[in-house]
Chain A
Amino acid sequence: MRGRRFLTWGGAALLILGALVWAAWPSSGPQTSADRAHELATEIRCPDCQGLSAEDSSSSSAQAIRADLARRTKAGESDAEIRSVYVARYGLSILLKPQSSGLGLLVWGLPVLVFALGAAGLALAFARWRREPRLHATNADEALVDGVRSG
């Protein structure tokens, strides 16, 4: 074990944190319009297939959507504008990622709420366990002690 003394927690933390910072460091330039088109295509449902995105499907309507997105992003339309064009034509169900407004707030917020409640519950339980004595004397225990004392 002595040979591994030089492996300290600080070293490990430094190594891992360094790697994480490097990984998160923005490496490429600004997003190109083609990147944006691909990203949007993953969020738009292919209308005539079952739940696949326009990016994943090879159906003709998915191809048309990909071409349309490439054209629109190139023309400089913003993501929100493009989404609203599709919603106007197809309705909200065309978006695979529900909007975080109105009722859509529920689908994003509820999991966070449930996690927060769960984590808080666990933390409370640990705090209680820490406070409470390890063993409680039950009535039977007390009776036993009383019996011994009086006897």
Chain B
Amino acid sequence: MKASLGILGVALGASSAGLGICALARGLWTHDDRWLIVGRRAIFFVLGGAVVAVGAMEWALITHDFSLQYVAANNARETPLLFTITGLWAALEGSILLWVLVLGGFLTFTAYKFRARVTDPLVAWASLIGLAVALFFFALMLGPANPFRTLSNPPFDGQGPNALLQDHPLMAFHPPMLYLGLVGFTIPFAFAVAALITGRFSEGWLADVRKATLIAWGALTIGIILGAWWSYEVLGWGGFWAWDPVENAALLPWLTATAFLHSVIVQERRAMLRVWNLSLILSTFCLTILATFLTRSGVLNSVHSFTESDIGPWLLAFLGVVAAGSIALIAWRGDRLRSPGRIDSPVSREAAFLVNNLLFAGLAFVVLLGTVYPLLAEALQGHQLSVGGPYFNLMTTPIALALLLMMAVAPALPWRATSTDVLRRRLIIPAYTAGITMVVALVLGTRGITTVLAFGLAAFAVAGIVRQYVVGARARHRAESERWPTAVRRMVSGNPRLYGGLVVHTGIVCIAVALAAFGAFTTRREVELARGQSATVSGYTITYLGNRTEKSPQKTSVAVLLRIHHDGSDLGTYAPAISTFPGSNEGIGTPSVKTGFLRDVYLTLVSSPNEKGRVTIGVDINAMVVWLWIGGAVIALGTAIAISPELRRRKVRVDREPVSAPPEAGPTPSEEPEVVPV
């Protein structure tokens, strides 16, 4: 019953997508608008099909209907409700269901947004591309990844989700966020392909899909950070980023998308870089498919290879078609799209964006090369190699520092060209802030040029951002005698993209500082303790109080109670544990973390009490890790500001000319118009 309903949903989605493609193709071919209207309606049925299928799966999960193979494999009677619901994305088949649901949502959102331009060939082509992507994923579920396979002899109880996936509530948010991000890039991709096919390369559509792109970018950022957080809280190795192939795979589209978000501004302002921007969008989408492929095909060793499956060749074929099509389109249209624009000075905002793009593209190249290199080496040489943390740290640190420098300097550069006077006015205080911060960091005992430089550049960037906010708000405060909070609010809503972007930059600074501090000030010890004994690591005294064993049908866990003292004050009792789950042989460690603004005390149980009652505890004193999550929240806030509607002074609704809208106000700091030389 649930299986039939689910299959019905999948079939509805697949057939609507197929019919929609046919209708749109016919409409585009015969220039018959009625077919385009029919094709657009299909999008809503695609979403409907996905909702029905996901609903059927959740129904089956919540009622523990083990006649479905997927439910029997990823759910048990004792699984708590939260992890029952998240069972939807605990394995491959269900996560494709989530994928089509999110894609249906994005397509519907876009169809609604473009409701007045249904008959525009550009929009029709974009819908067609979007539906084709949806059709592929529905087809996966009708073929090799059918989530609604039934069992003729349903077991009395299921196996439950993978032990690692039922340990932390973050599992409820990390995968959906990541999917929201990865799937969302389908929208700009569809429009980019449509623009290449129709040859309509005006800037209008870029502005129109900006919101979808920003939502996808923000969600991907948050998804990646939540994944790091989950890794830190659950996996118990004391870190949050292991340069694991799947982590890298999610980072790759983020890098190209971030490059695009910056370089698109140059296109809007100066009508340059069209081919480059289209290439960035196309490669972002290709990289999202590559990410899915690497996660799901098991070609690379990874903690994420939870499910082995045979959809690898399908995804690879799809990736091949998408990549070949993209490259062919660029080769066909690229030279026609080239614009005659020029950049006047290497010291200008647009030049800074070019350097930014070089750095982001280079970073993406390094990460991609390192990730696939083991495969290349094996194909060429026949024996295996590993490329891991030490390689990536060494190669990415200089690029990351250069990006931090650009982030600190670029927002202060004026468009077109600059004068030393402007530079001085905008940069001298941030420069001094950076120098003083570095000296203070050194005095406080920081060593290592990378760390000190990172702190200095972070201070530089923050000082620049604060300056931009203060100058902008002060101008309003003085000119319109608004009160400060009103001035800031109106200033932000007057150019949400600029001021939201600066907030995002602040979040990035938090993350950069956290990474630098974590790299420099982390202490790691393993101590063996008998009951009642204490050990002191970096001034934190850990006392072993006793054990606590909890048995539930879901798991058996042995926790060790540890009290932490620091500077004579009691910081409470923490209980790292090792849990064993039925159906899994190895123990899963659960770390226990005392979080602080400057230092985390990260406790893991390395080995449970031995014959003599002694335990081995891993004690990591990690610096500033919480700022990673704070940075993530700040980025989320900044993205939300950037996508909030722009408050216009004159509320006149300008009817957009359908093909090319005038470029919108870019993120020029409008506060010092008199100093911008033209």
Contacts and interface: CB of A to CB of B under 8 A. Distances in A.
Given A9-B428, A51-B245, A52-B242, A98 B456 contact: no
Interface residues of A, number: 53
B592 to A, nearest CB: 14
A122 B362 contact: no
Contacts of A107: 369-370, 373, 387, 391
Nearest to B361: A118
Given A12-B435, A23-B448, A96-B391, 7 more contacts: A7-B432, A19-B452, A23-B452, A58-B589, A98-B386, A106-B373, A115-B362
Nearest to B440: A19
Contacts of B452: 19-20, 23
Contacts of B377: 98, 103-104
Interface string A76-113: 00000000000000011111111000111011001100
Interface string A7-26: 10101100110111011100
Interface stretch (B325-333, B351-359, B562-570): B351-359
Contact of A122 (B302, B358, B429, B589): B358
B289 interface: no
A107 B391 CA distance: 9
A45 B301 CA distance: 12
A142 interface: no
A129 B447 CA distance: 43
Contacts of A15: 432, 435-436, 438-439
Nearest to B346: A126
B366 A91 contact: no
Given A12-B435, A20-B453, A98 B391 contact: yes
A18 B447 CA distance: 14
B449 A9 contact: no
A23 B424 contact: no
Interface stretch (B336-344, B545-553, B662-670): B336-344
Interface in B588-617: 589, 604, 606
Interface of A: 1, 4, 7, 9, 11-12, 15-16, 18-20, 22-24, 27, 42-43, 45, 50-53, 55-58, 63, 91-98, 102-104, 106-107, 110-111, 114-115, 118-119, 122, 125-126, 129, 132, 134, 136
Residue of A19, A63, A96, A125 most packed against chain B (CB within 10 A): A19
A50 B302 contact: yes
A126 B343 contact: yes
B449 A92 contact: no
A97 B342 CA distance: 42
B162 to A, nearest CB: 14
Interface in B438-459: 438-439, 442, 446-449, 451-453, 456
A9 B358 contact: no
Contacts of B395: 111
Interface stretch (B123-131, B188-196, B231-239): B231-239
B342 A119 contact: no
30 contacts: A7-B429, A9-B428, A12-B428, A16-B435, A23-B452, A24-B449, A42-B390, A45-B386, A50-B301, A50-B305, A51-B244, A51-B301, A52-B242, A63-B606, A91-B384, A92-B386, A93-B383, A94-B386, A97-B390, A97-B391, A97-B394, A98-B391, A103-B385, A106-B373, A107-B391, A111-B395, A115-B362, A125-B343, A126-B351, A129-B343
A53 B369 contact: no
Nearest to A118: B358
Interface centre among B236, B351, B390 (most CB of A within 10 A): B390
A116 B428 CA distance: 30
B373 A98 contact: yes
B151 interface: no
Which of B369, B386, B524 has the most A CB atoms < 10 Å from its CB?
B386
Contacts of B449: 20, 23-24
B447 A93 contact: no
B380 A103 contact: yes
Contact of A53 (B388, B394, B448): B388
B389 A58 contact: no
B425 interface: yes
A122 B355 contact: yes
Contacts of B635: none
Given A19-B442, A110-B369, A53 B389 contact: yes
Contacts of B358: 115, 118-119, 122
Given A94-B386, A98-B373, A51 B302 contact: yes
B386 A20 contact: no
Given A93-B386, A94-B386, A50 B244 contact: yes
B365 interface: yes
